[in-house]
Structure 1
């Protein structure tokens, strides 16, 4: 057993102290506060120090990593026991356990397999099992009904978020990961409706299937895959299965379009980098607006604002339509000759920012129409005419992307920012077209 695996086991043991929180009540913070004090001021040598010490800790002669982990848990425990705040005890316990056992799962897999995807899968699996168990344990101790589908859904959502954050942060940033899990799951629990067994099974099953498929065929990096599946599950939690399908349709069709005749596009200088595997930045650039829209929809649903809910549905569908339209326009249009700059219609070289072809524009319109059709069937659009507004929003977003590419992209505005603005234009376009209807 390596020292890193032993250390992960030690942290998991400390995290298990969270299970005592429901019984301790207002003193739930005490075990973690004690661990933080011992780590920061008492344990500076010996077997315990060697068990928990990270490389930087040996240099400082202090268990900074363990102290930070315990202090983050202490803060969450206090939030869970302050009457006017009341972070749900189940969320507190699950957040601590998910991070601790997610790290342990990753190290266990890493001992046998030198594969980043499998290590990430080990993290998510460990976090999922520990998070589900923690919530069930709190329900049992508190004599409340064990809502297993909801617990499982929140656990897989938290596991994906933690794994995603771990791809961009260092091990010393574990306290930030723990707090992020707690606050995101707290928000989801406040805004989401009941989770059925079907929704939980659907979400978890597709998490495994789509995550593996996206990585296996190279349409997304590990971070990009985690981001896309996390956003899809968040859409399921706050909107429903239909929202998941609409959003994932963009990731699936857009990813396949990127890989379509990739070698030919590469030879023409118009192919996506990294062999077409989209990373977190690209996924967020195309999906940040839809994320805000689904959170806005859930919020207006919670507080009963019908007009606001309708507008957010249109914003969500319009932004996804814009992302789909722009992606298909670029990936299909890049295969054809004689592109013209959208601002002047002069002929330019393939791959020039802001260049369009009629074949690409047609593909973009078809992409927007696909999303509009899915939205009509799967989303609570305010009327059938609203599907036309979604189609219009997609075309508007595609056009804005080309205009920005021809004018400002590369001169202080990167591709991800352009994608964000294009999807924002798609969302606003859908809403503005629908209002007169």
Structure 2
């Protein structure tokens, strides 16, 4: 086990070469020369991993289990070449990858791995290991951001540093939970692009909301995992979405999301054994996975990011409030409709109204429809309080949620299986709810 710590530490040492990049940027060199010089150390490491170090103590230190089969350090080479590819993008004129995004993503990953391996020396509990990775990643990414500011100038405000560091670490932890250790290059590139997007949008990060967002989302993650309402990847997805909702939108946006996460998770547990006997229960004892959480929340995530960047995209920010509320109302209505309606006999296919077996894609019961309408109404009521909506605007959110649920049933009856999976249906249904909510608000002059 200590060998894993040493290997993670060696990768972190290679990752520290990322600090060469901000040293080169802004020195007045030709962009191509700068790009080549920035990538050269990583290319050298990658070539050495493939063609020089093939045995001995150094090989044993750096090798992952799969590397022994081929006698080459493919894991290290892939990581080094991914760093080289990102380093090449930094010096590009106008559209170059910010050095902050490059250094922060590398730091979050390599130090997060070291922290995770240190925790694994004491316990193999997945929550503890992931918490160690995330905490180590946050601290390292923040230090990387601050170091780039000192080296290359352009210092970021500390609240933004904390927010971006949390996003980087949570994003890396989520991808690590969904992928394998050998996929670290993919994790690195994905996190770098995520940070690049936030930096390009020029998103503000109010200090109080950043602090509250980090604290509340961490508590939410612990409670969700402890109660078993979400898997590890589902917990991480929910934590990241909660942080983005609080910081980029506000407390009202978070209130809508947490209501969906809480009631949706509890409804999955409601009379679980009975639903399991009918063959309609969620897998993993009702704990929702990351794919399920993201499919139900991806549209809401896009809406809150566009709301924060509305001045850049030239669209009234209020429009994104209705899109967000409509998508969350859909997710809530669909979840309650499925989890409660599935307990009753006599479901009918939404397209033909013929009786079908419980659990059939696209089947509905009147009890489920009522539960869905109540779910949309709950979200609309909360939106009315936090977004100060009048009766007509509140009704728009309810209609958006119910329309999205209807779209879910129609897609389930027609396209689910041969064309779309369940998560794809959920994604398009929440998109329909967002479009209907925003479209009605626009048509009625509420925006």
Structure 1 length-normalised TM? 0.91
Aligned counterpart in structure 1 of residue 133 of structure 2, from 113, 123, 135: 123
Gapped regions of structure 2 (runs ≥ 5): 26-33
* Alignment CA distance shift 1:101-1:78 (3 Å): same
- Asked if 1 retains the 8 angstrom alpha-carbon contact of 2:380 and 2:395, the reply is yes
Partner of 2:280: 270
**1:16-36, CA deviations, whole angstroms, 9 ceiling, x for partnerless residues?**
222343334344434323322
**Do structure 1's residue 415 and structure 2's residue 425 form an aligned pair?**
no
Aligned counterpart in structure 2 of residue 356 of structure 1, from 347, 357, 364: 364
In the TM superposition, residue 385 of structure 1 has moved relative to its aligned partner by 3.1
Compute the RMSD of aligned alpha carbons. Answer: 2.4
Partner of 1:171: 181
- Asked if 2 retains the 8 angstrom alpha-carbon contact of 1:188 and 1:238, the reply is no
In the TM superposition, residue 311 of structure 1 has moved relative to its aligned partner by 3.4
Aligned counterpart in structure 2 of residue 424 of structure 1, from 412, 428, 431: 431
In the TM superposition, residue 211 of structure 1 has moved relative to its aligned partner by 1.0
Deviates more, 1:195-204 or 1:241-250: 241-250
In the TM superposition, residue 251 of structure 1 has moved relative to its aligned partner by 1.5
Partner of 1:281: 291
- Asked if 2 retains the 8 angstrom alpha-carbon contact of 1:139 and 1:146, the reply is yes
1:385 alignment partner, SS class: helix
In the TM superposition, residue 108 of structure 1 has moved relative to its aligned partner by 1.2
Aligned counterpart in structure 1 of residue 328 of structure 2, from 316, 320, 337: 320
Aligned counterpart in structure 2 of residue 213 of structure 1, from 223, 226, 234: 223
Aligned counterparts of 1:410 and 1:175: Cα–Cα separation in 2: 32
In the TM superposition, residue 111 of structure 1 has moved relative to its aligned partner by 1.8
Partner of 1:395: 402
- Asked if 2 retains the 8 angstrom alpha-carbon contact of 1:192 and 1:298, the reply is no
Aligned counterparts of 2:102 and 2:293: Cα–Cα separation in 1: 29
Alignment of 1:249-398 (within 5 A): 249-306=259-316, 309-379=317-387, 385-398=392-405
**1:86-141, CA deviations, whole angstroms, 9 ceiling, x for partnerless residues?**
32222211111111011111111112212222222221111111111111222233
Aligned counterparts of 1:197 and 1:139: Cα–Cα separation in 2: 19
How many residue pairs are counted as aligned between the two chains?
A: 434
Partner of 1:189: 199
Gapped regions of structure 1 (runs ≥ 5): none
Aligned counterpart in structure 2 of residue 435 of structure 1, from 426, 430, 442: 442
In the TM superposition, residue 219 of structure 1 has moved relative to its aligned partner by 1.1
**1:179-234, CA deviations, whole angstroms, 9 ceiling, x for partnerless residues?**
11111011012225321221211221122111111111111111111122223333
Aligned counterparts of 2:299 and 2:155: Cα–Cα separation in 1: 36
1:95 alignment partner, SS class: helix
Structure 2 length-normalised TM? 0.89
